[in-house]
């Protein structure tokens, strides 16, 4: 475990070194959130009727949860992972006496500390700009925190697989942008899944993507409780395990394509 803690500390240092890149990606997610808040304010406050079924206060909370889960384990994680592959530094990682996937997860946790601090600051700014939000307590708060913790391994699985695609594509940006676009749609980050057509709503609910935004947001708002809430959290954990196991198989296949030139 000492080796993985060291990896996490190095990752934290990397964020400080590449703080400009990190902050730009954070600002990008924040700007998207501000735009969504402005749009939904027009729909729910200034518009006629309420097609969403959410109040303005609930929608603010929903979008802020989406902002938080969209920021943690962001593109910063898979871009640095892909850079190792493209630069050949992955060859040095493979000779180290640590599990490659666990080491990358430890790195992600190192980045996570900076991301949590950034979410807290930006979230406070957004709340001040757009007004307060409801805060859960009791059982809903506990369920929300458990679901939020489950987002970390779940999203890591998706981001890690995106980074591994560099073994085949020799570039990561296209794959990474595709992952972000698909995640935003299928997770409900832009529009709550409940508003989707039935077929698309079903696809979102059975996929791992709903566990990134929709599940923690609905639990935060108390719209799901009891056995249904537990099932959603278990579904998050199920997909986290599936993606972890699937990534190991993909990594073994990727190693057969590894070519490193030079010394």
In the prediction, which pLDDT does 48 show?
57
- Identify the band that residue 85 occupies on the pLDDT scale cut at 50, 70 and 90: confident
In the prediction, which pLDDT does 5 show?
80
Reduced DSSP (H G I as helix, E B as strand, rest coil) percent helix, strand, coil of the chain, to 5: 80, 0, 20
Whether the pLDDT of residue 20 is over 80: the answer is no
Q: What is the mean pLDDT of residues 72-79?
A: 71
pLDDT in tens, 115-163: 788 788 888 888 888 888 888 888 889 999 999 999 999 999 998 888 8
Round the CA-based radius of gyration of the chain to a whole number and report it: 19
CA gap 90, 95 in Å, rounded: 9
- Identify the band that residue 200 occupies on the pLDDT scale cut at 50, 70 and 90: very high
* 120, two tokens: 């807290």
pTM, entire model:
0.87
Whether the pLDDT of residue 110 is over 90: the answer is no
Helix-then-strand count for the chain, H and E: 12, 0
Percent with pLDDT over 70 in the chain: 88
Whether 229 and 216 have beta carbons less than 8 Å apart is answered as: no
* 71, two tokens: 């920021």
In the prediction, which pLDDT does 17 show?
64
Whether 209 and 148 have beta carbons less than 8 Å apart is answered as: no
Taking the domains of the chain in order of start, what are their residue ranges? 2-255
Range among 97-106, 167-176, 254-263 rated most confident: 97-106
Please state, rounded to an integer, the average pLDDT across all residues of the chain: 83
In the prediction, which pLDDT does 175 show?
82
Crossing angle of helices 75-87/100-130, nearest 10°? Answer: 150
CA gap 136, 143 in Å, rounded: 10
In the prediction, which pLDDT does 46 show?
64
In the prediction, which pLDDT does 7 show?
75
CA gap 101, 259 in Å, rounded: 19
Distance of CA 125 to the CA centre of its chain: 21
- Identify the band that residue 52 occupies on the pLDDT scale cut at 50, 70 and 90: low
Q: What is the mean pLDDT of residues 21-49?
A: 76
In the prediction, which pLDDT does 49 show?
56
Does 245 or 5 have the greater pLDDT score? 245
Whether 76 and 25 have beta carbons less than 8 Å apart is answered as: yes
In the prediction, which pLDDT does 263 show?
44
């Amino acid at each position: 475990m000492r080796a993985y803690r060291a990896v996490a500390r190095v990752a934290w240092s990397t964020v400080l070194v590449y703080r400009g890149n990190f902050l730009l990606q954070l600002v990008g997610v924040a700007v998207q959130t501000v735009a969504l808040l402005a749009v939904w304010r027009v729909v729910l406050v200034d518009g006629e009727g309420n097609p969403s079924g959410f109040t303005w206060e609930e929608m603010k909370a929903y979008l802020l949860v989406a902002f938080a889960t969209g920021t943690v384990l962001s593109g910063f994680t898979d871009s640095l992972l892909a850079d190792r592959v493209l630069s050949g530094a992955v060859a040095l990682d493979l000779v180290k006496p640590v599990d490659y996937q666990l080491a990358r997860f430890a790195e992600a946790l190192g980045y996570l500390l900076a991301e949590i601090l950034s979410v807290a600051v930006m979230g406070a700014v957004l709340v001040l700009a757009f007004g307060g939000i409801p805060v859960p307590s009791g059982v809903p708060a506990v369920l929300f925190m458990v679901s939020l913790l489950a987002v970390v391994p779940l999203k890591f699985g998706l981001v890690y697989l995106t980074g591994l695609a560099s073994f085949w594509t020799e570039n990561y940006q296209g794959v990474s942008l595709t992952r972000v676009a698909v995640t935003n749609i299928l997770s409900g980050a832009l529009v709550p899944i409940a508003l989707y057509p039935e077929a698309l709503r079903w696809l979102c609910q059975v996929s791992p993507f709903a566990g990134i935004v929709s599940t923690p947001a609905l639990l935060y708002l108390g719209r799901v409780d009891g056995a249904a809430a537990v099932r959603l959290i278990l579904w998050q954990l199920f997909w986290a395990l599936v993606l972890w196991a699937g990534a190991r198989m993909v990594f073994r296949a990727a190693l057969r394509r590894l070519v490193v030139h030079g010394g």
